[in-house]
Structure 1
Amino acid sequence: MTPAPALGGQGSRRLLDRPGPTTRTLVTLAAVLGVAVHLWGLYRDHGPPSVGWFPQADKLEHLVGFGLPCLLVLLALHVHAAARGARPRMRTVVGVAVLFAVHAVVSEVVQGEAYTTRSGDPLDALADLAGTTLGLLGYLALRGRRER
């Protein structure tokens, strides 16, 4: 059995350019799971326990909590388009990023207004936006490597 290819290696070219049904299924499941965990973390009735790694460590959780699902959704769109011999339109890619960005702000407003055990934090929204930006840039970097 051969080891799985690194994301940036030659094997990833096959995964992103000519994905088979198994790859499409796995990437789609990863995106669905990522979004489900993302939504659960944002809308459960209590916030996460405070992490004592360093001051404001929860901002790192917000960054990853938006960046990873954004990246996974974009990769899922990519592999489904690539299976048809296409690639996602840039307006679709930007649309996904805009949805995550709008959700960053909306989720903090909802937490502040609809929950008595949570509060909205503008710094959390900024971390969410930074994560979304990193997810988008990560996808664009992978997409750019494929086009060269």
Structure 2
Amino acid sequence: MLKPASPPGAIPHLDKLGHAALFAVQAPLLFAATGWRPARVWLALAAWALGSEALQGWLTSDRSPEALDALADLAGASLALWWASRRHGRR
């Protein structure tokens, strides 16, 4: 049986902050680059979050999809899109 690539961290669910931070960076960049409405950016990022989690479980033998990872992704994207849309005056 394969072992995970790295041992679990000392702080439970610390990786969720990383997920939220990555999507918090991606969201305003996609928003600014495309000119899409925040809802469309959010839907694109939701598809990315869910798709990447599904592929992680399907294509790897040492990782599994986690709903909490996708939720953390969308929480980061939501907060950043809220901020970006207020800053740029687009809703």
Q: Within the alignment, does 1:101 sit opposite 2:46 as a pair? A: yes
Q: State the 1:118 CA deviation.
A: 1.4
Counterpart selection for 1:117 from 62, 66, 70: 62
User: Number of paired residues?
Assistant: 87
Q: Structure 2, unaligned stretches of length 5 or more?
A: none
Which amino acid counterpart does residue 57 of structure 1 have in structure 2?
L
Q: State the 1:122 CA deviation.
A: 0.8
Which amino acid counterpart does residue 63 of structure 1 have in structure 2?
A
Q: Structure 1, unaligned stretches of length 5 or more?
A: 1-45, 78-87
Q: Within the alignment, does 1:66 sit opposite 2:66 as a pair? A: no
Which amino acid counterpart does residue 55 of structure 1 have in structure 2?
P
Q: State the 1:63 CA deviation.
A: 0.3
Which amino acid counterpart does residue 67 of structure 2 have in structure 1?
P
CA 1:47–1:100 in 2, change beyond 3 Å: closer, same or farther?
A: farther
Q: What is the distance in 1 between the residues matched to 2:33 and 2:88? A: 12
Q: What is the distance in 1 between the residues matched to 2:20 and 2:58? A: 22
Q: State the 1:51 CA deviation.
A: 4.3
Residue in 2 that maps onto 1:136: 81
Largest Rg, 1 or 2: 1
Q: Report the TM-score, using the length of structure 1 for normalisation.
A: 0.51
Deviations 1:22-56 (A, max 9, x none): xxxxxxxxxxxxxxxxxxxxxxxx8677544x321
Which amino acid counterpart does residue 58 of structure 1 have in structure 2?
D
**Is the 1:50–1:58 contact (alpha carbons within 8 Å) kept by the matching residues of 2?**
no
Higher relative contact order (CA 8 A, sep 6+): 2
